[in-house]
Structure formats: C-alpha cells, structure tokens
Structure 1
C-alpha cells in the first residue's frame, strides 16, 4: 500500500529502468480524478487492448470511446517496446474486482481465484495496456515482453514491492482473459530476477529515427503515370506505407514497397484527414505526398523528413 508517485517520479522510475518512454500530450494532467479517488496504490495491472496499430491503439487508450472515457490506462506498451504515457491519476482500466484478491496483493501472498466484482480497482492499481489483439494468436514480440517486465520492475522497485504486487486483469475481474497469450510465469520470473539486481545506470539509447526523403518518395509515387504499382527501389516507401497501415488507411497486404494505387488512395485519405482537398470542388486530394502532410505523419510514427 502506498501513496501514488508524482508524475515526475513515475516517469523517472520508468526511464531509470531503461525503458523508452513517449510522453503523449498532457498526460500528467489527463485523468478521471473527478469521478473518484486515486490511491492508495497497491500494485501494477497488465492488460491487452484488442486493437491493431500502435498509433490507433495509443489514441484509443488516451481518448477512450463511447461509454468509457479515457484515459484507459497510464501507459500503453506497443509492440516495439515503447511505453506511451497517456494519463496519470485515476484511469478507466481495472473496473470492479475481487476484495480477496486485493487483500492478497496488499499482503503480497498467493492470490485466490477471483469470483467477485465489488472493489474499485481504478483507485488501487497502476494500469498498462499492451497492444495485442487478444485472440491467443497475435504474437508478443520480445521487445514488448521485455518492456512489460521492466515496467513492473520499475514500479515494484520504486515502492519496495515484490513481484506479487503485479497482476493481470484476468486475476482481478471475473470474466476477463487479458493479457491473453502472454507467458505470465516467464514475466514473473524475469521481474523477480531484475528486482534482485541493481537498475541500469542509464536508460537504453533511443533508436535512430528513420528519415524519408520527400523528393524520393514523390518520385516513387509518380513512377507510373497510371499508378499501376511499378516496383521502386527507394526503401523509404516501406516506412511510409507502414505508417499508413498503422493509421488504418492501407491494408497491410498492400504495403509491399511499391507506391501503387492503394498507397496513392491511402495518401489521399491521410491528406483529406488533415483538411486537404483536390483543386476542383468535390475532387479528392491528389495522393502525392507533400511536405506538411508527410511531416505530420512522421511526428505520429517516429520518422523524420528531409527535402
């Protein structure tokens, strides 16, 4: 049982454990504190999102959806192992759960099976949503699992908790199955091992951001006047198409590195989302990347733009 960390201490705890942290908007002040108390905190809860695409997943967890306002957690752990902070304070993630489970977490002893839903978990737990479809088939990449281990370790280390202060949503609320497909035994073993060692002396280095050359991308888009998908050799097309897939604008099977018809149409939709239109009334945006729309896409998906 503990007083919640300040937002700054929470961030430092994660970074000191070597995590790559992305601060999203006004996360420090984005919460549901007006709807109920936040704290004392008793543990860390892990969920899966049932969503696909990092940008879309982070956006949903930050904003919520009809009937369940955001934030839906404190942090989103995407498949690349990054931790996106979307809120701090009370968050709509745990819901009502079992009082016997809470008592076991507080005492750091073996948990009973959950069979009641009477205690407000949003008050008592830090919550992390993990990008995963939750169908038992969607993989858990090594980078994502390592981030889950480090998130749990960071908060347990900061509060002086053992691994028994970490739990899954399925351990808390009857009927829940998340995080489905995650090897929880492996996670607990690795957390226990990390807690027995000193934290890293410095965060892991942030990976270099890809750079897309606008002129090369436009050249790829104009390779075939009929937009028939003529093969191109510019590697930046794959980075660009991956971002469009994440935005839900391009089917993954069509992200083949060829700036063809589907990519042009997806680009047009992205431009229109930003308010651009064709030259004539009712005409769609042209689907040829421009500097402003490309920069905005890069800001959301971790790449830079030159030319």
Structure 2
C-alpha cells in the first residue's frame, strides 16, 4: 500500500532506471480521477494492446473509445522499448479483478505466481485505483514477437516503480493474473518477467536517460494539429489525406519491414548453423 508517486517523481523514477520516455500531451493531468479514487496503489499491471503500430496504439491508449474513455493506461511500451506516457492518475486499464489476488499482491505473499483469479471485470473489485498500468504494443495472438528492447522496457518500468515504493517484484502482475476474463500479456510469462525484475532490483538502476535525448513534449493542441493536419500527396495530388492516417501507415510499414528483416536474419542464422 502506498500513496501514488507525483507525476514528476514517477517520470524521474523511470528516467533513473534508464527508461526511454516520450511525454504525450497533457499526460500529467489526463486521468479518470473524477470517477473515483487514485490510490492507495499496490502494484503494477502489464497488458498487451491487441493493436499494431506505435502511432495508432498510443492514440487509442490516450483517447480510448466511446464505451471506454481514455486514458487506458499510464504508459504505452512500443516495440523499440520507448515508453509513451499518456495519462497519470486513475486510468481505465485494470477493471475488476480478484480480491484474493489483490491481497496477495499487497502482502507479496505468493510463490511464483498469484492464485488463479476466479473473479473478473463484472464481478471483481476495482483495480483502476490500485495499480499502475502499462500497455505493451502486441497483437496478443501468441505469434507477434516481443523484441528484446520491449521486454527490457517492461522490466525497467516495473523495477522503477517497485524501487520507488520499496516493493518487490511480486508487486508486478499480468492482467491475466488479476482478472479471470483476461489473457494478457500473451507471448511471455509473468513469472519469467518477475524473475528479471527481481534481478534488476537486486542491483543499481540503469544508466539514467535525459529529457533532451528522449522526450518530445506535446500539448493537447499539438496532438490535435498532428491528427487533423491535411497532407498533400505529390503522387496523386490527394490533399484530403490526414497526417494521422499517413503516420499510421508509415509506422505500420516500418514495423512490417522490421518483422521481415527479423525473419530474414533468423533464416540466415539457421542456414549458417546448418552448415557449421
């Protein structure tokens, strides 16, 4: 149990752990606090987005949907390991979960994993007030890869918060460990991630990052301009295409090319191994 870190202390803790951070709009005051309490906090929940592309995913997690307003987390962890801060305070990320799991997290009393949750979003206790939340960009199909840089960022943000609150790695759980009707994150195991976090907590924080190197601070007005700015396409004279659409396309193409390169490198390695 702890009082939530201030936004400034939260950002400082991430930077001290070597996390690469991008500040999006008014993230420090973008929250759902008018719907209920934020805190006391007890831990961190890790999610996957079921989306592709950094720009698209960050926008969704910041703004949410008509039926589920944003922010949908505090930070979005992209495939390159950059953490995009989209909100701070109460966020629509944890939903309802198992009170028995909550108590185990508070007490840090379980073994390699909490007991399997028997309650979910509709019949569980509110988790939005009690957990920091990070959405990780992944399709959640068990096939979409988890790059090393992304896993490292999950480890670092979790360790940063645990270190700031004097928690152990057992204060970090996956959404599937909190709620009976959730499956995320899918593609790695939380016991393995907690082992990584525990190892990091046993040492000193990583090389600190600096605002000059890693932060792009945007106001709400900036964000709106980016998504609505008309972009002319010299190839087809299309002046109605929006910058947001173009950025999503470019980002997805970048990810597609990166995935292709990973597959080519894997094939080359296999060919080399077969010849050796």
State the TM-score, normalizing by the size of structure 1.
Answer: 0.69
For the Cα contact (< 8 Å) 1:75–1:128, is it kept in 2? yes
Unpaired segments of 5 or more residues in structure 2? 215-225, 252-276
Counterpart residue number, 1:31: 31
Distance of 1:20 and 1:12 partners within structure 2: 11
2:40 is equivalent to residue 40 of structure 1 = yes
Q: CA deviation at 1:68?
A: 0.2
Structure 1, residues 268-302: CA drift from partner, whole Å, max 9, x if none? xxx99523579xxxx73399xxxxx79x96xx97x
Judge which range, 189-198 or 43-52, deviates more. 189-198
2:132 is equivalent to residue 126 of structure 1 = yes
For the Cα contact (< 8 Å) 2:231–2:240, is it kept in 1? no
Distance of 2:36 and 2:196 partners within structure 1: 34
Distance of 1:146 and 1:82 partners within structure 2: 10
For the Cα contact (< 8 Å) 1:272–1:284, is it kept in 2? no
Map 1:218-229 → 2, pairs under 5 A: none
Counterpart residue number, 1:274: 229
For the Cα contact (< 8 Å) 1:52–1:133, is it kept in 2? yes
Helix, strand or coil at the partner of 1:66: coil
Q: CA deviation at 1:200?
A: 2.8
From 201, 218, 221, give the equivalent of 1:195.
201
Counterpart residue number, 1:115: 118
Structure 1, residues 189-218: CA drift from partner, whole Å, max 9, x if none? 1111110101135328948xxxxxxxxxxx
Counterpart residue number, 2:105: 105
2:138 is equivalent to residue 138 of structure 1 = no
Higher relative contact order structure (alpha carbons within 8 Å, sequence separation ≥ 6): 2
Map 1:128-277 → 2, pairs under 5 A: 128-203=134-209, 206=213, 274-275=229-230
Distance of 1:149 and 1:158 partners within structure 2: 14
For the Cα contact (< 8 Å) 1:115–1:174, is it kept in 2? yes
For the Cα contact (< 8 Å) 1:272–1:285, is it kept in 2? no
Greater Rg by CA:
1
Cα 1:185–1:284 change in 2 (3 A) is: same
Structure 1, residues 89-109: CA drift from partner, whole Å, max 9, x if none? 000000000000000000001
Q: CA deviation at 1:69?
A: 0.2
Q: CA deviation at 1:63?
A: 0.2
2:210 is equivalent to residue 284 of structure 1 = no
Cα 1:155–1:277 change in 2 (3 A) is: closer
For the Cα contact (< 8 Å) 2:41–2:130, is it kept in 1? yes
Unpaired segments of 5 or more residues in structure 1? 208-270, 288-292, 302-307
Helix, strand or coil at the partner of 2:88: coil
For the Cα contact (< 8 Å) 2:230–2:240, is it kept in 1? no
Cα 1:272–1:171 change in 2 (3 A) is: closer
Q: CA deviation at 1:40?
A: 0.2
For the Cα contact (< 8 Å) 2:19–2:208, is it kept in 1? no
Structure 1, residues 114-169: CA drift from partner, whole Å, max 9, x if none? 00232100010000000000000000000000000001100000000001100000
| CA RMSD after TM alignment | 2.7
Q: CA deviation at 1:37?
A: 0.6
For the Cα contact (< 8 Å) 1:134–1:178, is it kept in 2? yes
